[in-house]
Amino acid sequence: MDIARTPATPDGNPHLADAPPPPTQPPVIRREDYRPFPWTVPQVRMDFRLGLAETVVRTELDVARNPQAEGTPVLRLNGDGLTPLEVLVDGEPLNSWVMEGPDLLVTLPGDAHTISIVTSIDPSANSQLMGLYASGGMLCTQCEAEGFRRITFFPDRPDVLSIYRVRMRGPQADFPVLLSNGDLVGEGTGEDGTHWAEWHDPWPKPSYLFALVAGDLVAQRDSFITMNGREVQLAIYVRPGDEGRTDHAMQSLKRSMKWDEEVFGREYDLGIFNIVAVSDFNMGAMENKGLNVFNTKYVLAEPDTATDGDYDAVEGVIAHEYFHNWSGNRVTCRDWFQLSLKEGFTVLRDQLFSQDMGSAAVKRIEDVRVLRSVQFPEDSGPLAHPIRPDSFREISNFYTATVYNKGAEVIRMMRTLAGPAAFRAGCDLYFDRHDGEAATCEDFVVAMEDGAGLDLTQFRRWYGQAGTPEVRVAVKAQANGVEVELAQATPTTPGQDAKEPVPIPLRVALHDRASGELGSETLLLLTEGEQRFTLPHAGIAPVLSINRGFSAPVVIRRALSAEDLVFLAAQDDDPFARYEAMQDLVVTHLLAAVQGDTGEQSGRAAIRQVLAAVLADEGIDDLMRGELLILPGETYLAEQLAVADPGRIHEAREALKGWLARELEAEFVALHARASGADAGFTAAAKGARKVKTQALVFLAAGNPALAARMAAAQYDAAVTMTDRQGALMVLAGLDTPERTGKLLDFYQRHRDNALVIDKWFALQAQSLHPNTLSHVQALAQHPDFTLRNPNRARSLFMAFAGNPHAFHASGGEGYRMVADTILALDPINPQTAARFVPPLGRWRRIEPVRAGLMRAELERIATAPSLSRDTFEQVSRSLG
């Protein structure tokens, strides 16, 4: 085959004339257009000749007509930027293939054939980090969602499941470790300094779960005996020098394996489970079968360089990827519209795991905080979409908080409705029924109906409707009880004007404020637009505690007096409800303050009273105290208003923090002193102490900056953990004080060889409350350690900045310009990561008119840029639309 002809167009090929012109706009892919693939690919054999600058890939596919699909002689193999060097059908160089855009089309005469294709790729030029790429001298892959087509031509869709045999050969000195999915079935050395390895994965899988890693890596090894007594060899591969930082990840993996057996009855199914840590990675980690590839951020952890939050994140992500082995790999997705089938379910599984490993109440509050600060704004903005989207242009844009976190909430509601035992029965049935298949969200719902005995007819609306439902609550006292009147409405979202009521499970209890007596909990199921429930109550001052444990992902609108909220915040037996009452008190006060309500003094006094109680309460541990001390964030506050002024929100929140800190200065100082006496261990008490210690500084920094600066500098100097050091530096970074510069410099020099800690150094400054944050970030973008090519580094500066309201929303629009410039600079390098910076600008409709105009203008500037990626084009056009 003449490889110089690109696109390859063998003479006389009948398909040539049909090739459409290149699209001007990326096409819209629709869920309703799903059709099964006309061919099956039972076996794939791959052979890699590895090199950083050139890797040659020979792929052999056994294909057969799919009896379940409409027949066609044409086999479409997706490609992305590839040129076929050779195409053989049953060993013959037939002229029956043609390129159509990026794809290779082969016309096949019979029902079963073997196709052999050779491609050549340059991993070192792959800055998108999709497909096979080079990272610091090693080679690794990322294929989800559509990266495999950047390695070889293939039906790159999740419903084509194949058994893979992968052979690779490369210079032993450069790539001493050679890994792929499944079991190692052969290895050897050549005379020319090369060596080879062959891996075989017996489990049929879609191409997005393929992985290959080659590099100079060291392994921490361990093993795990499964519930049926099988031994699994575990290894975590890292760069030489990092091997001392993998203990926590290994322990987390073993705990995850055990937990999944005990709680979900799921056993691991290969003899090997490998994890590789990579420093250039677009997201957190990837669940490739038997060979998880991780961002170093979610593997490496030691007390001197990782915070308690980092430790928890490592444990959570290790668990999440491991759990995908069943929810995602053994049962995968039919198409990418079903993404929440694996992601929502797996997020719920990792949340339940983390609840069991630590404090369930604190974990629940943390998860709700993420949902409300990220997913709620998404659901009320231009990028709103159902957890099962109906269309997309670029699937990478749909790895969202909606698909992941709201998806988890939707499955959690099924669990609440069924109860844990019936839910488990539903899960068991789902896994049994669909093992080895590419399934749909509907399959999951049907299995849950059959296995858990639920009728989910109306519940299915949660999959199709975008937007966060709002529930209005009115309580009327009656003789011997109260009537609870609930009304639900879901705001319109792009493309969805009419919304129907969804079933909303609300855990409620009626307490009595006068006697302090706490009522028992019941579950109300709101299914209608408006519905009344009667609850028995004998007391005289009933207070309704509602959506306990955040049993439904909705906004509750309740008109509770400050007195009732103070009561709930101080005494409710449901920790989430306590937190919620506290948040409500603060939100009510701050919204009044930003709207110029001067009568808010009483609200302030109520908050002071509750905060004082939280500081003094010996009945709660410090981890919970730390949660209760976190004031609602500025994005969440903005979310409560149809149109927000971020400047006023910031001022009002800081003013409240400062006032509270001055009122309770002695208490905060005492808390800090008490917590400073705790040890440096990882018990809940020690972690809690570290949490409240920095929280105390956060308050004091707003009320008495000079005192806070002294205390923070002392905490920094005394720190033996990264939690204490980072917490102190975070507070100092926000203050205009001489200690700030000295400690920032010290931190940099101490950790300059550790990329993950230098990421923290960038992020701390970009997230800072300092008035000059904007110019600091501009200067940091020129720092020799800054690069847009590493996603962690790019995010550490600019995502941190975009999430810092006072700096991002600078009134002259400089923050918006900086983020837009970042998107434009990053888009040609790494479109997937670039597109992630669009949503903060996309919020313009909910921001006051002057800033809104500036934000919109930046989006328009991006939209007019030539050769925008599909990723960024889609996000920008939806944001302007």
Which residues belong to the active site? 321
Residue 47's binding partner, choosing from ligand B3K, Zn ion, none, with beta-carbon cut-off 5 to 8 A by kind? none
The one segment of 209-217, 283-291, 407-415, 531-539 that binds ligand B3K by CB under 6 A: 283-291
What is the nearest approach in angstroms of ligand B3K to the Cβ of residue 349?
A: 11
Number of amino acids touching Zn ion (CB under 5 A): 2
| Maximum alpha-carbon separation in the chain | 92
CA 528 from chain centre, in angstroms, equals 32
Number of amino acids touching ligand B3K (CB under 6 A): 12
The DSSP-derived string for 93-135 is: --S-EEEETTEEEEE-SSSEEEEEEEEEE-GGG-TT--EEEEE
Among 80, 159, 280, 287, the residue binding ligand B3K under the rule CB under 6 A is 287
Q: At 678, which amino acid appears?
A: A
Six token digits for residue 795: 């995010």
Nearer to ligand B3K, 330 or 809 (CB): 330
What is the nearest approach in angstroms of Zn ion to the Cβ of residue 326?
A: 12
Nearer to Zn ion, 196 or 404 (CB): 404
- State the virtual CA torsion across 151, 152, 154, 156 in degrees, nearest 10: 10
Among 296, 338, 396, 551, the residue binding ligand B3K under the rule CB under 6 A is 396
Its sign, for the CA torsion 797, 798, 799, 805, is positive
Site string for ligand B3K, 292-331 (x = CB under 6 A): ----------------------------xx--x-------
Site string for Zn ion, 329-358 (x = CB under 5 A): --------------x--x------------
Its sign, for the CA torsion 445, 342, 144, 468, is positive
What is the nearest approach in angstroms of Zn ion to the Cβ of residue 159?
A: 18
Residue 232's binding partner, choosing from Zn ion, ligand B3K, none, with beta-carbon cut-off 5 to 8 A by kind? none
Nearer to Zn ion, 116 or 332 (CB): 332
Q: Does 286 bind ligand B3K (CB under 6 A)?
A: yes
CA-closest candidate to residue 236, choices 271, 274, 268: 274
Nearer to ligand B3K, 657 or 836 (CB): 836
Residue 550's binding partner, choosing from ligand B3K, Zn ion, none, with beta-carbon cut-off 5 to 8 A by kind? none
Q: Does 145 bind ligand B3K (CB under 6 A)?
A: yes
Bridge partners, 213 (sequence order): 140, 179
What is the nearest approach in angstroms of ligand B3K to the Cβ of residue 282?
A: 6
Q: What is the 3-state secondary structure (H, E, C) of 348-373?
A: HHHHHHHHHHCCHHHHHHHHHHHHHH
What is the nearest approach in angstroms of ligand B3K to the Cβ of residue 343?
A: 5
Nearer to ligand B3K, 295 or 723 (CB): 295
CA-closest candidate to residue 871, choices 126, 130, 135, 45: 130
Q: Does 156 bind ligand B3K (CB under 6 A)?
A: no
The DSSP-derived string for 705-745 is: HHHHHHHHHHHHHH--SHHHHHHHHHHHHTS-SHHHHHHHH
Residue 279's binding partner, choosing from Zn ion, ligand B3K, none, with beta-carbon cut-off 5 to 8 A by kind? none
Question: 263: burial class by Cβ within 10 Å (0-12, 13-18, 19+)?
Answer: middle
Whole-number Å distance between alpha carbons of 470 and 491:
8
Residue 141's binding partner, choosing from ligand B3K, Zn ion, none, with beta-carbon cut-off 5 to 8 A by kind? none
What is the nearest approach in angstroms of ligand B3K to the Cβ of residue 83?
A: 25
Among 117, 283, 543, 769, the residue binding ligand B3K under the rule CB under 6 A is 283
Q: Does 46 bind ligand B3K (CB under 6 A)?
A: no
Residue 585's binding partner, choosing from Zn ion, ligand B3K, none, with beta-carbon cut-off 5 to 8 A by kind? none
What is the nearest approach in angstroms of ligand B3K to the Cβ of residue 26?
A: 16
User: How does DSSP classify residue 18?
Assistant: G
What is the nearest approach in angstroms of ligand B3K to the Cβ of residue 321?
A: 5
* C-alpha separations of 80 from 49, 148, 156 in Å: 20, 9, 10
Its sign, for the CA torsion 131, 159, 876, 762, is negative
What is the nearest approach in angstroms of ligand B3K to the Cβ of residue 287?
A: 5
Whole-number Å distance between alpha carbons of 77 and 273:
30
Nearer to ligand B3K, 549 or 791 (CB): 791
Nearer to ligand B3K, 336 or 579 (CB): 336
Residue 207's binding partner, choosing from Zn ion, ligand B3K, none, with beta-carbon cut-off 5 to 8 A by kind? none
Q: How many Cβ atoms sit within 10 Å of the Cβ of residue 68? A: 9
Whole-number Å distance between alpha carbons of 258 and 247:
17
Nearer to ligand B3K, 604 or 870 (CB): 870
With CB atoms as reference, the residue minimizing the distance to ligand B3K is 144
Nearer to Zn ion, 348 or 638 (CB): 348
Q: Does 132 bind ligand B3K (CB under 6 A)?
A: no
Q: Are 479 and 542 in contact (CB under 8 A)?
A: no
Q: Does 350 bind ligand B3K (CB under 6 A)?
A: no
Among 144, 242, 379, 564, the residue binding ligand B3K under the rule CB under 6 A is 144
What is the nearest approach in angstroms of ligand B3K to the Cβ of residue 663?
A: 44
Q: Does 146 bind ligand B3K (CB under 6 A)?
A: no
Q: Does 348 bind ligand B3K (CB under 6 A)?
A: no
What is the nearest approach in angstroms of ligand B3K to the Cβ of residue 464?
A: 22
Residue 394's binding partner, choosing from ligand B3K, Zn ion, none, with beta-carbon cut-off 5 to 8 A by kind? none
The β-bridge relationship of strands 212-215 and 177-180 is antiparallel
Q: Does 399 bind ligand B3K (CB under 6 A)?
A: yes
User: How does DSSP classify residue 304?
Assistant: T
In this structure, the chain runs to a length of: 881
Q: Which of residues 326-345 bind ligand B3K (CB under 6 A)?
A: 343
Whole-number Å distance between alpha carbons of 530 and 394:
39
Q: Are 189 and 195 in contact (CB under 8 A)?
A: yes
Whole-number Å distance between alpha carbons of 578 and 455:
32
Nearer to ligand B3K, 144 or 600 (CB): 144
Nearer to ligand B3K, 400 or 694 (CB): 400
Residue 283's binding partner, choosing from ligand B3K, Zn ion, none, with beta-carbon cut-off 5 to 8 A by kind? ligand B3K
CA-closest candidate to residue 854, choices 865, 864, 843: 843
Whole-number Å distance between alpha carbons of 145 and 142:
8
Nearer to Zn ion, 343 or 580 (CB): 343
The one segment of 245-253, 278-286, 382-390, 786-794 that binds ligand B3K by CB under 6 A: 278-286
Six token digits for residue 74: 């044409």
Bridge partners, 536 (sequence order): 481
* C-alpha separations of 51 from 125, 141, 213, 285, 423 in Å: 12, 14, 12, 24, 49
The one segment of 215-223, 280-288, 627-635, 841-849 that binds ligand B3K by CB under 6 A: 280-288
CA-closest candidate to residue 510, choices 532, 537, 472: 537
Q: What is the 3-state secondary structure (H, E, C) of 426-462?
A: HHHHHHHHHCCCEECHHHHHHHHHHHHCCCCCCCCHH
Residue 144's binding partner, choosing from Zn ion, ligand B3K, none, with beta-carbon cut-off 5 to 8 A by kind? ligand B3K
What is the nearest approach in angstroms of Zn ion to the Cβ of residue 399?
A: 8
Residue 757's binding partner, choosing from Zn ion, ligand B3K, none, with beta-carbon cut-off 5 to 8 A by kind? none
What is the nearest approach in angstroms of ligand B3K to the Cβ of residue 110?
A: 36
Helix (H/G/I), strand (E/B), else coil: 558: strand
Interacting residue ranges for Zn ion, rule: CB under 5 A: 343, 346
Interacting residue ranges for ligand B3K, rule: CB under 6 A: 144-145, 283, 285-287, 320-321, 324, 343, 396, 399
